Amino acid sequence: MGSPGFDRAAIRVVFLDVDDTLLDFDACAEQAMEQARGELGVGPIDFPAFLRINLALWKQLERGELTKQQLFHERWSRVFEALGVEGDGPLFEAHFRRALTQAAVPMPGAAALTAYLAGRYTLCAASNAPHMQQVRRLAQAGLLQDLKRVFTSESCGAPKPSAAFFDACFTALAPLRPEQTVMIGDSATADVAGAAAYGMHTIWFDRCRAGGTAGAEHAVQSLEEILSLL
């Protein structure tokens, strides 16, 4: 199984993205948004609009156009402005992020996948989200026990897809070569392009069933499909 150059017998470490790969970010974020609304008495918010604005901001972060602190400071202010909702954006962000830390909805097949991979490889999470937020959410979802390390942009000092992010990962896991690793994630830019540029093998989780490969060696539309690749 696998394409030329993708020899699973040579793989030592598997990296997994967290949001929209292991954890259902949309479900978690909607829960957190509704909790923050209730706590602050904010009116109805169009959740798909939040998702669009949030995705655009994270793409800016990946391109180095803003910092994570700027993203967190501006995110809900932009949502409120776009929707004409009355509210204090930074205050809502604080309540939202606190609620998000408690939200942990696994993606279908996530537990079976991490259990399978942890029995065969060193399994690590790789995420751009806040470190302790991800650690707590993975623990609540019952997935942390299968992970050897949780790497985040906060702990690495740089975000995916930068080479500096992967430099930090490989330093922590030395001696390790990029060709001995696989990166699995839903982002064509942060996960696939970043890892491929570093020399790692890649699997794109096409959770939206868009089709194509996004430049990855393999594309899957369910986490279960990964079991036959690794």
Comparison of pLDDT for 6 and 97, the residue scoring more: 97
Q: Is residue 216's pLDDT more than 50?
A: yes
Q: Is residue 64's pLDDT more than 80?
A: yes
Mean pLDDT of 60-67: 89
Comparison of pLDDT for 84 and 4, the residue scoring more: 84
Reported pTM: 0.88
88-97: long-range pairs with CB below 8 Å, 24+: 88/40, 91/40, 92/36, 92/40, 92/42, 95/35, 95/36, 95/39, 95/40, 96/32, 96/33, 96/36, 97/32, 97/72, 97/130, 97/133
Q: How confident is the model at residue 7 (pLDDT cuts 50, 70, 90)?
A: confident
- Helix or strand or coil: residue 151? strand
Q: How confident is the model at residue 123 (pLDDT cuts 50, 70, 90)?
A: very high
Q: Is residue 87's pLDDT more than 90?
A: yes
In the set 17, 146, 191, 206, the catalytic residue is 17
Please name the residue that has the structure tokens 């008495």: 41
At 11-30, the pLDDT tens digits run: 999 999 999 999 999 999 99
> What is the spatial distance between Cα 88 and Cα 94, in angstroms, rounded to a whole number?
10
Q: Is residue 1's pLDDT more than 80?
A: no
> What is the spatial distance between Cα 226 and Cα 205, in angstroms, rounded to a whole number?
9
What whole-number percentage of the chain has pLDDT above 70? 98
Residues paired with residue 152 on neighbouring β-strands, in sequence order: 127
Q: Is 186 a catalytic residue?
A: no
> What is the spatial distance between Cα 14 and Cα 121, in angstroms, rounded to a whole number?
7
> What is the spatial distance between Cα 41 and Cα 143, in angstroms, rounded to a whole number?
34
pLDDT at 2: 39
pLDDT at 98: 94
Q: Is 146 a catalytic residue?
A: no
CA 47 to chain centre: 19
The region of weakest confidence among 2-6, 18-22, 42-46, 61-65 is 2-6
At 153-197, the pLDDT tens digits run: 999 999 999 999 999 999 999 999 999 999 999 999 999 999 999
pLDDT at 187: 93
In the set 19, 20, 146, 191, the catalytic residue is 19
List of residues 6+ apart from 132 with CB closer than 8 A:
101
pLDDT at 4: 47
